[in-house]
Amino acid sequence: MKIGFLDIEWVDVLDVLLLAFLLYQIYFLVKGTIASRIFLGYLLVYLLYLVAKAVGLELLTTILGYFISVGALALIIIFQQEIRRFLLIIGKSTNIANSRLFTRWFRQPTSADPLTPLKPIIDACKSMSSEFTGGLIVIAKNDDLDKFIQTGDLLDAIVAKRLLLSIVSQYSPLRDGAVIISEDRIRAARCILPISENDEILTSTGFRHRAAIGISEVTDAAAIAISEETGRISLAIDGDLYPNISSAELEEKLGQYLAEINRIRKRENGKDASL
């Protein structure tokens, strides 16, 4: 196809569409963060470089050229977190990790992966909320949380409401930090989670809630934060915080979020039982 003096192939259209998609994703990632201002600054310097080059300002072109080539490396360092999040989003959104093929070829066979019992967790959250007992409970999905489990005290106990309540109770030496649940076990307590650096989070948000968002940004785990101050229940999933939700909403959202992985486990369990 020829438009004026331009000879356009369908691959060029695809190229432009993919670039637009990529730029949109980058914008979406850096929106509202300090990185967006750095990105804008870098873009302006690059535009200046293009103008200087077109006009023929050689000295300025050379200096800006050096700045831009070193700047590319600097950008990778500055945008470390954003690049990480971008790759994580791609990895998560393709849903490959949950697919039948992936579980068959890349994960160890999950012949007896037990389901996470939600009822005792929801019941414990309900009690904590009504008694203003603060807590942070992480529920693993597909990603390995070993790195975070190792920062706390290992438990490996059955998920039960009374046990959860005694861990977070005011007099418990295990109450600080996060409780991590994976499959049907409480793996550890007193775990340290990464704090989210997202600039869009309200400045009034405390560290418990930032830690809940943080773990949901870097892994596919869900995190429940119960505020000691207000008794409110909040749920963090995929870097988003659902603040002040009822226990019924918590149950619904968590159930939906874990439905896919539970389906896989049920399927595997079913296969196992039929052997």
Which residues form the interface with ligand ATP (CB under 6 A)? Answer: 134, 136, 176-178, 192-193, 195, 206-209, 211, 227-229
As a whole number of angstroms, the distance between CA 113 and CA 115 comes to 7
- Nearest residue (CB) to ligand ATP, 36 versus 169: 169
- Nearest residue (CB) to ligand ATP, 97 versus 154: 154
For ligand ATP, the nearest residue by Cβ is 206
- Nearest residue (CB) to ligand ATP, 176 versus 183: 176
Task: Find the shortest distance in angstroms from Cβ 198 to ligand ATP.
Answer: 14
Angle at 246 between CA 242 and CA 248, to 5 degrees: 110
Report residue 39: phi and psi, to 5°.
-60, -45
3-class SS at 267?
Answer: helix
- Nearest residue (CB) to ligand ATP, 32 versus 206: 206
As a whole number of angstroms, the distance between CA 65 and CA 69 comes to 6
Task: Find the shortest distance in angstroms from Cβ 226 to ligand ATP.
Answer: 7
- At 113, the amino acid letter reads D
As a whole number of angstroms, the distance between CA 110 and CA 120 comes to 24
- Nearest residue (CB) to ligand ATP, 52 versus 155: 155
Task: Find the shortest distance in angstroms from Cβ 225 to ligand ATP.
Answer: 6
What tokens were used for 37? 């201002």
Closest CA to 168 of 199, 138, 194: 138
Task: Find the shortest distance in angstroms from Cβ 208 to ligand ATP.
Answer: 3
Q: How far is residue 263 CA from its own chain's centroid?
A: 22
Task: Find the shortest distance in angstroms from Cβ 237 to ligand ATP.
Answer: 17
User: Sign (positive/negative) of CA torsion 84, 89, 95, 96?
Assistant: negative
- Nearest residue (CB) to ligand ATP, 200 versus 229: 229
Task: Find the shortest distance in angstroms from Cβ 84 to ligand ATP.
Answer: 18
